[in-house]
Homo-oligomer: A and B are copies of this chain.
Amino acid sequence: MKRKTILLSHGGGGKHTRQLIEEHFLPAFSNSMLEKLGDSAVFKINGKNIAFTTDTFVVKPLFFPGGDIGDLAVYGTVNDLAVMGARPLHLSTGFVIEEGLTFETLDRVITSMNEASKKAGINIVTGDTKVVERGGADGIFINTSGIGVIEDGLMSDEPISPGDRIILNGTLGDHGIAVLSARGELPLESNIVSDAAPLNKIIFPLLEKFPGKVRFMRDATRGGFATVLNEICEGENFGITVTQRDIPVREDVHAVCELLGFDPLYVANEGKVVIIIDGDVADDALEMLRSQPLGENSAIVGEITPDNPGRAILKTMIGGGRILDMMIGDQLPRIC
């Protein structure tokens, strides 16, 4: 039966989001750039490859351990550029504010956006503000759009192929669980903080040291790591194998997920990038990433395989193999 109305899961980043895009947006807006479904659109201006991306943030609550909607809005868009190999240049910001919001709250958010912009090395160069009546929106929603410039030669020209390895720059699930804790929904005390961070600060040193070796990157936000793996191999003639014991997850995040019935592989992150890299340099790249503040807990977590084309397989702790599907439903709404 075809659904008649929008569900929360249509914004969750998993299967329903994909259906929404493929069945409603793509047929209408059909053009080759949009159809690539990358983290950014890429086009040439005066011979330079430009990346352009947009993201709206509706996280609830506005403030949570390790971050708030302001720095999330900056890092989210900076990261969507950076994973395309584009150096983030300028951001726009569009606010929807609910009437009655205090200036104190607004100023906290603005200050946080400013600090995040400095850390990421970008400027917010244009903006827009709309106000809706009480009850017409929930506090603040922030859209950021961003422009970046792609330098030739940094990313690999070769497609992903068997033998490539998969690197993660740290622990999974911290962001989602930190937001849950701010909602008072954790069954235990925790020190878990969001991993929100400007990934360009770790991505470009890597690309500069290993030019032409990184085949693909994507930040593991809504839908989590497992959904990214599916996006990578869907419809391709290669498969993916990742090894559970190698995937970094904090012990307390693991414990909370166990208690609440979540799988950390599907929980949203805001400072984690999945890197597909030439197998020949994977160990050296790992060492280099581990020497950086945003990559201390980096790990090689898997590889591209000729087997299981189109599928992502998790080698479990007990040695079995489990298919990692795209996220279905939306386990944690309004996480970014």
Contact = CB atoms under 8 A, between A and B. Distances in A.
Interface of A: 3-12, 17, 20-21, 24-25, 28-29, 31, 33-34, 38, 40-41, 43, 45-48, 50, 52-58, 60, 89-90, 92-104, 106-107, 110-111, 113-114, 117, 123-133, 135-138, 141, 143, 145, 147, 149, 330, 333-334
Contact of A137 (B38, B53, B107, B137): B137
A103 B46 CA distance: 40
Contact of A123 (B6, B31, B46, B136): B31
> How many protomers of this protein does the assembly include?
2
Given A21-B129, A56-B130, A138-B132, A145 B94 contact: yes
B131 A8 contact: yes
A112 to B, nearest CB: 9
A123 B110 CA distance: 31
Contacts of A28: 107, 110-111, 113-114
A135 B111 CA distance: 28
Contact of A334 (B52, B125, B132): B132
Given A4-B103, A136-B137, A124 B29 contact: yes
A34 B128 CA distance: 11
Contacts of A145: 54, 92, 94, 143, 145
Contacts of A114: 28-29
Given A45-B89, A52-B126, 15 more contacts: A5-B101, A5-B102, A7-B99, A8-B132, A11-B132, A41-B90, A41-B126, A43-B90, A45-B46, A54-B127, A56-B130, A58-B132, A130-B334, A132-B138, A137-B138
